[in-house]
Structure 1
Amino acid sequence: MILADENIDHSIIAALRAAGYSVASVYESYRSMSDEAIIQLSRNPPRIILTEDKDFGEWVFAHGIRDISVVFLRYHFRDTAALLTTLLELLRTRLPDLTGAFTTVGVYKIRIRPL
């Protein structure tokens, strides 16, 4: 399951759902939730946090949070369709690798860092 942060564009959430992924949206169900609460929510049941918020990198790398899974999206709005293609291919082919990792996804580059 994926937990989409408030900043994730609805078109990305809709496309993920259309592709068969279970996506809980912070914007739809937990508006204004803090990052700490999102981290807690992502733990039970385990979910991949999908975000555009750099603060999750700080939580992982500066504060040592290790028992979460984060996919951090880096793109320009005009590249949304290309990013979505990359994201869907990543989920289709490497979903198990995303668990317990901080993954940065750009239009043409993916970096998976196990935690």
Structure 2
Amino acid sequence: MILADENLPPRMIELLRDSEIEVFSIKENHRGINDQEVINLSKSPPRIILTEDKDFGEWVFAHHEESISVILLRYKRPDLDLIADIVIDLIKDKGSSLFGKYVTVTLGKIRIREIYL
């Protein structure tokens, strides 16, 4: 269900997997690919891109990239476990309803935006 961008710390992936969330890691499987290739991988099978890279917002809102879903994480490294808990709860609570959304997660707020094309 989750496509972990290469910039995510291994600890984040570990915490997600420990919570029984399916994670496909770019770092483990396709290190060094560009954003467009990440997007292509997210489409088949459909996966939500989990990233710290704001460029995916540009792909969605400026380039109108179709059929992608993104969770953007904004936090400081010491807060990694806290943000992971928020993401785990979000995924377990919302599940597949996160497809077609651009979600920004911070310690204080979760913003879910529908992706309209």
Gaps of 5+ in 2: none
Identity %: 47
What is the deviation of 1:93?
0.8
Structure 2 residue aligned with 1:71: 71
> Deviation per CA, 1:32-88, whole angstroms, max 9, x where unpaired?
011000100100000000000010000001101131010000000011111111111
CA separation in 2, counterparts of 1:51 and 1:45? 18
Number of residues of Structure 1 aligned to a counterpart in Structure 2: 115
Please give the root-mean-square deviation of Cα atoms over the aligned residues, in Å. 0.8
Gaps of 5+ in 1: none
User: What is the DSSP-based 3-state SS (H/G/I as helix, E as strand, rest coil) of the residue aligned with 2:72?
Assistant: strand
Q: Name the aligned partner's letter for residue 53 of structure 1.
A: D
Normalising by structure 2, report the TM-score.
0.95
Structure 1 residue aligned with 2:11: 11
Say whether the 8 Å CA contact 1:86–1:108 is kept in structure 2: no
CA separation in 2, counterparts of 1:7 and 1:84? 15
> Deviation per CA, 1:4-51, whole angstroms, max 9, x where unpaired?
000011001001111111101101110001100010010000000000
User: What is the DSSP-based 3-state SS (H/G/I as helix, E as strand, rest coil) of the residue aligned with 2:93?
Assistant: helix
Q: Name the aligned partner's letter for residue 96 of structure 2.
A: P
Normalising by structure 1, report the TM-score.
0.96
Structure 2 residue aligned with 1:55: 55
